[in-house]
Chains A and B, each alone.
Chain A
Amino acid sequence: MVRFKNRWILVEFIPITQGTAQLGKSTVGSANSIDGKAIWSALKQSVLNNFGDTGWGAVGLSLTVKYFSPTTNICIIRVARDQHNIAWGALTLLTSIDGTRYLPNVVHVSGTIRHAQLAAIAHNREVIARYRALAENPAAYQDSYNTFLESTEREIEALQD
């Protein structure tokens, strides 16, 4: 009974502009918009640079970017369990995607998609809470974040293995 086991890595990419990290969530569509494909190719380059062709051979077939949200910069990546260290290491050594510098911050690593989804939803909530605290609006202020939270929650729940 040889089941194919995976690791689901939840990463947050923090954009770096002019040498400083932008920690607050920015809804304004900045010039540097990346998507899942760009992340995948940047990760591939990182594996090739740091771990060579053998590293890519170990990881490449099973590496997929399952979800990416440009607004919160959250990415869910699926790797095979046996070599997830290589992929995780390459992710840490990643410095830029498509020319702009990013800081990869791995939030959660889990063996099932369910926990990765839960972690992503919890992380989104945290980010929204942080943004709301920064905005310092009065308590009764209705902002559009609730709808945003709901829509992203639906997107994340819709992920399939």
Chain B
Amino acid sequence: MFFDLNIPIKKSPARLNTSKKSKLPETTTTWTTAEIADIERRVDVLVHLGYTVLAFSQTVNKKIDPKTHVNFLDNLISQLRTRSGIVYLKRLNIILDQDSEKGFGLVNASVSLFNAYDLIALVPTTHNTFSSACLTHSLPSQLTAHIISLPLTLPRLPYHMKHTLIRTAIKNGAVFEINYVGALGGENDSMLVEADAAENGPNAKRNWWASSRELVRVTKGRSIVVSGGIVNEADLRAPRDVANLISMLGLAQDAAHDASSKTPKSLIIRAKTRQTHRAVLSEPAVVFPANSDLAESSNPIEKLDMEDVVTADSPQPQKRQREDSGPSKKKKRKQNREDTQLVA
């Protein structure tokens, strides 16, 4: 199972609502058939190369304004052809810079906005935002940003990567992301380039090799996720090719392979815990003493109240069954069998 967790989707703002009377924000975006065909072709190539889980990402600069923010990924996924065995996810990238040091909209008030995304990522460009991303935003909560994506193509990484910060972030469960588009000198997401978080061109390659090597050294190779960030189709590469590239950064071969398979897998499951309280996932099983009357009943056991936020559009992979908000038939049968065994 191979993951590509960063497929940047750019949506040019739709025709502005020129009517001065309506004050409602635009809640739906229309996708033209040409754009959909473009994205379908990209997905075709990705599937051909061997990726099975794809996350489309929307990039926002500086801060999120709940009043004007439009989530255009919902519409997109419902319009894409469903392919068997392929999972589509939605991801939000927030570019942080000096202006967002005070706050950028990741507040409890707009939780509903963030629940629509499966993954949240931060792109810090200053030292303060980097430390807040590592320390505060990686704590388990409704608003955890599980992915910290460093701008690796900048000529001089704006902050020194302090080992303590990174260790705390990893302990809390965040992962650091490497976008392999920088290795090829390919075109980055234009929003990142505008926000001075990425560079295109021949220097970008050199900066990428230097900064990624440093990142691998500081994180000791664990909790690294490799993803695309590719804008041009021609820059896409197969997952094992990418794993080989990453192993040239000083990472052991099995760690490099993990970075595109095992680490993103646990990341996605962990990101689902945003929907739970403090990332607690287990169902408490109530065990009745064998002789009491209560053992006779075979009602499903009371569990933590978990909202199931996965939309009906995205096909659920098997690994998510544990977080379903109702016990599946298999579980019910198992519980019944266990109950009767206790009685017998």
Contacts and interface: CB of A to CB of B under 8 A. Distances in A.
Interface of A: 14, 16, 19-21, 23, 85-86, 88-89, 91-93, 95, 101, 103-106
B234 A92 contact: no
A92 B244 contact: yes
A45 B247 CA distance: 21
24 contacts: A19-B234, A20-B233, A21-B41, A21-B233, A85-B244, A85-B248, A88-B244, A89-B245, A92-B241, A92-B245, A93-B183, A93-B245, A95-B235, A103-B45, A103-B233, A103-B237, A104-B241, A105-B49, A105-B237, A105-B238, A105-B241, A106-B238, A106-B240, A106-B241
A19 B232 contact: yes
A23 B248 contact: no
Given A85-B248, A92-B244, A93-B183, A19 B233 contact: yes
B244 A16 contact: no
Given A19-B233, A21-B234, A103-B234, 16 more contacts: A14-B45, A19-B234, A21-B45, A21-B233, A85-B247, A86-B248, A89-B245, A89-B248, A92-B241, A92-B244, A103-B237, A104-B237, A105-B49, A105-B237, A105-B238, A105-B241
B242 interface: yes
Nearest to A107: B238
A145 B301 CA distance: 60
Contact of A101 (B45, B234, B238): B234
Interface of B is mostly: helix
B42 to A, nearest CB: 9
B238 to A, nearest CB: 5
Contacts of A16: 233-234
Nearest to A91: B241
A42 B107 CA distance: 52
A23 B48 contact: yes
A30 B233 CA distance: 20
* Interface band, chain B: 20 to 34
B99 interface: no
Contacts of B245: 89, 92-93
A93 B45 contact: no
B184 interface: yes
Nearest to B184: A93
Contacts of A101: 234
Nearest to A21: B45
Nearest to A109: B240
A44 B237 CA distance: 19
Given A95-B234, A103-B236, A23 B44 contact: yes
A86 B48 CA distance: 24
Contacts of A103: 45, 233-234, 236-237
A19 B234 CA distance: 7
A134 to B, nearest CB: 12
